[in-house]
Every structure is written in C-alpha cells, then in structure tokens.
Structure 1
Amino acid sequence: MRKWWSAAGTVAWVAVGTAAGGLGAWQLASADGGGAAHSRPLDEGAVRRALAGEGTADATPSSPTPPSPTPPSPTPSSPTPSGPTPSSPRPSGPTPSDPRPSGPGPSRSMAPERSTVRFTGGTATVECRPGGTVYLVSWSPADGYHFDEDVVRGPGRAARLEAEPSDDADDGDGAEDADDLTYDITCPDGRPRAHRAPDD
C-alpha cells in the first residue's frame, strides 16, 4: 500500500514538472515570436546572403526631396515703344509775329518845344507848334502888375494877354499911372516873340 502511494506521488511530480516546462517554453516562444523554437544555426552562404541583403538595403536611395517651388515670375508690364515719342505737329512755315507799325514811332523830338518870353508886364511860357501856331502854357506878372482875365491862349496864329498896373503899386516909378500893356505872342520862325499890340 505504501509503494502504491509512492509511485503515485512520483507520477504527480513528473506531471507537474512536465507541465511547468511546457508552460515555460510557451512563454519563451510567445516572447520572441516563436523564433526561438524554430531557430537554427546559419551556414557561411546564408551569412553572406544576409550581409549582401543588408548592403543592398543600405544602398537603396531614399525618396527624393521634392524641389522647392519656383517663385512666380513678375507680371510683365506694358511694352514701351522703342521708337521716338511722337510730338505735336508744328507748322512748317515761319511763326507769325505780332503786327507792328512799320513807320517810326513818336519821338520826343516831335513834341512842341516850350520857351519863355519876357516883356515889361511879366513873363509867359509858350509852345511854338508846327505851322507857325502858338499856344500859351502859363504866364506870370511882374512886380506891380497883374494880368487881365481876358487871355487868349491859342493855339492860333497869336496868343494875347494884357498886363495891368496894380492898384496899390507904388514903387516910385509911376507904375500906378502907367497904361495897360497888351501883348501879342507869335512864333514867326519857331521862336516865341512878344510885341505890343496896337491900341484899339
């Protein structure tokens, strides 16, 4: 009876060891993908083929890097004409100038010349004009005289003025008793002359 229990215990321990060994082998196979169960030593030819395969894999070119995009070319501007720029048409003939009189312009030499003539009753400034005419510009009485308001200035053949003694003139020469002096002024030769007019 005791031998039977001993044999049964041995069998049990063997079964337990076998199960444990199988479990360990299964775990090892699961860990390395089953490669350990099927691994076997490589011969020299297999080693060379494996090395050649690795070299080919290393020599395989990687995928080419795509080239960077080329920037777009600038938009062409409107073409500039190469020829000369056309200018506005101009008349081929001479440019007309402002019309001007062909004759000589008036000069100061043609203006009437003024001269001063002196006489007993005073002085007078006159213009001798073309054609022998005379124009009385101004007059000034001498001391003790005054001019009458009836002055003929012209222009004409003669200018006339009358010098009268002043009422309060008393210079000791008897001017207050003198007669009125009437003068005609003419320009017979382009120069003024004063002469006594005849009494009426």
Structure 2
Amino acid sequence: MRKWRNAVVTAAWVAVGTAAGALGAWQLASSDSDGAGGAAHSRPLDEAAVRKALTASTPTPTSRSTSTPPTSTPPASTPSAERSTVRFTGGSATVECRADGTVRLVSWSPADGFHIDDDVERGPGAVARLEAEPGDDDDQPDLPYEIRCAGGTPKVLPDGDDD
C-alpha cells in the first residue's frame, strides 16, 4: 500500500511540474504582440518606442483629495533639453543639448576593448569632456573628446586640451 501511495504522489508532482512548465512556455510564446514569435521583451526598443511607452505609462492627473495639502514651493525647473546618443571611437554617450546652449552628459558606455576614464566633465556647461582609454594596450594613445551643442545638435570633437 505504501509503495502505491508513493508512486501516486510522485506522479502527481511530475504532472503538476509538467503542466506548470507547459503553461510558462505557452505564456512566453504568446506574449509577443506582433506574432513574430519570442518574447516581446527580447527585442530592444528604438527611441520612438521608448517615448511611446513612457507616454502611455504617464499617470493622468486626478483631482486632489482634501486631505493632501497644496504645495507652496513650485517644482524645480530645468531648461528644456533634447537627448541624443553620440558615438565615437572608444564608446558612446547620451547627451542633453539644453535650450540655453549648454551640454550635459547623461550617461556613457565604452566600446569593447576600451574604458572611459573616471575624470569625466559631464556639465552642464559649454563643453563636456571624457576620455576613452584602450584596455590593456599601452601602445595605443588615450582618446580625449569634447562634446558641444550647436543649434541643439551635439558635436563630438577630439579634445585638444592638454591640462
């Protein structure tokens, strides 16, 4: 009797595990909204898709409840800025060109075989600076860059500053 009971319990656990795995695989396969197969989250989004997703997730204003006191300080304002990604030998950077003509490095990422020096001048200012350094090759020179905004468009130039 005990062997029979152990066999039934084992079979039940195997059936539940198999059903859970099949359900998970089905859900993953059917989660792709355009029917191309695979998971929807496995493809990177382009800039337009990111903006669309952010717009869709922005909460709509609701009426204030009477228990929430109004704020007396206005929210901090920053100059409007347009973000874009610039690429250069040694990596890439996300840059804000602000309405007042200043530039600010939002983020940066080295290319394979490089790293970005810790001494980054991210702004905001007239110029932002960073330096891409080759990984383990002392024979290759470091690649300093300055980034400026001209007419709202970022420009990457080799940095001639010898500080």
TM-score between the two structures when normalised by the length of structure 2: 0.49
TM-score between the two structures when normalised by the length of structure 1: 0.40
In proportion to residue count, which structure has more strand? 2
